[in-house]
Amino acid sequence: MSEEISSRVDVGFCEEVHEKWRVQSAQFPSKVGGKPAWLSYENIPGYEDLKCPKCENQMCFLCQVYAPLEDDPANFHRTIFIFLCRSATCCQRNRSDTVRVFRNQLSWKNPFYSHEPPPEEEPVHFDAARFSKLCELCGCFAEKTCSKCKKAWYCSREHQIIHWKDHHKDACGNPSKPSKLSSILFTEYEIVIESEEYKKSVVNEEDQLQLYNRLVSEGRTGTLPESEEAELENHATCEKDKVFANFRKRVDCNPEQILRYERGGEPLWIASEPKPEAVPDCEQCGGPRQFEFQVMPQLLTVLKENELDFGVLLVYTCKRSCSSQKTYSNEFVFKQDVCETDTV
């Protein structure tokens, strides 16, 4: 027997971007891939902030989640950004050092956006260049410029070379020629959020365990229908198998989910270990961090990403969501992979 359950978790799904303006900064989007839709345009992360500690190439923007705190005026707008290295050789099992997370927030009155809610129509063009120079290739903070036209900006020499070969060689001095999306970026999608509903089996575990033990002693477990036997065997498997089975069972109710959001809640673990021994305190205020959301492995399928691999990316943020002069605050991310004997 099962019943439909509504949980405290919100789940996110990828949706194709039909109107580009809907995933730009002034619309406060949650999105995957493309260039970041920055919230504040001050102190934007650049090459040194995003350099992979292994290959030293710049990490690539993966996704962002718009998550304002309605009861906190300082967090009227609030977005979490995730970057990771696209090199498969840098991505090691259960290692999080090639993933980086930033949090940014703005009050209702801020220098970038109107105090009114964004309209449900294409707005007047938002000119980010008024506030900061951005890399033509990846959209991160740029310090270098094209020596010829002095109009194209880049975060690094590497991105300048790539953009020159892909586009700028023909467009230099011709700003009207549109730039195409670079192949180093992930495909862009909008994230749509819905409340999670799932089916939960309603059983008396003590009775089921007694039945299972009796059937084992009589050598009769193979005589049960497959569905009933599988349910009973859940009580006899090791902890590692139980955790992964629970993950699969929960996710199968919404198999296309790429995100699970529950600020202050608990992650949906994909494996029994490893888990963080301790979540470090906020680097800005020294206060505790708490779980906020996780990125699911289905995202790699949506992106048709065959080289990278991860189980889940668990994001922990400052419980106070503190403000600081450094407008993009580092937050804690933990990458947990499936056990080598399991598959997603």
**Under DSSP, is residue 77 helix (H, G, I), strand (E, B) or coil?**
strand
pTM: 0.85
Where along the chain do its domains lie?
A: 16-191+272-282+319-328
Phi, psi (rounded to 5 degrees) for 152: -95, 130
Least confidently predicted of 48-62, 94-108, 215-229? 215-229
**Burial annotation 55-87 (CB, 10 A radius, 16+ → b, else e):** eebbbbbbbbbbbbeeeeeebbbbbbbbbbbbb
Average pLDDT over residues 202-222: 59
Give yes or no for a contact between 244 and 340, defined as CB atoms under 8 angstroms apart: no
The pLDDT of residue 194 is: 96
DSSP secondary structure code for residue 307 in this structure: S
**Helix or strand or coil: residue 260?**
strand
pLDDT in tens, 258-302: 999 999 999 999 999 999 999 999 999 999 999 999 999 999 999
Say whether the peptide bond before residue 274 is cis (omega within 30 degrees of 0).
yes
For residues 66 and 62, give the distance between their C-alpha atoms in angstroms, rounded to a whole number.
14
User: Average per-residue pLDDT in the chain?
Assistant: 86
Cα dihedral 22, 23, 25, 26, rounded to 10, equals: 10
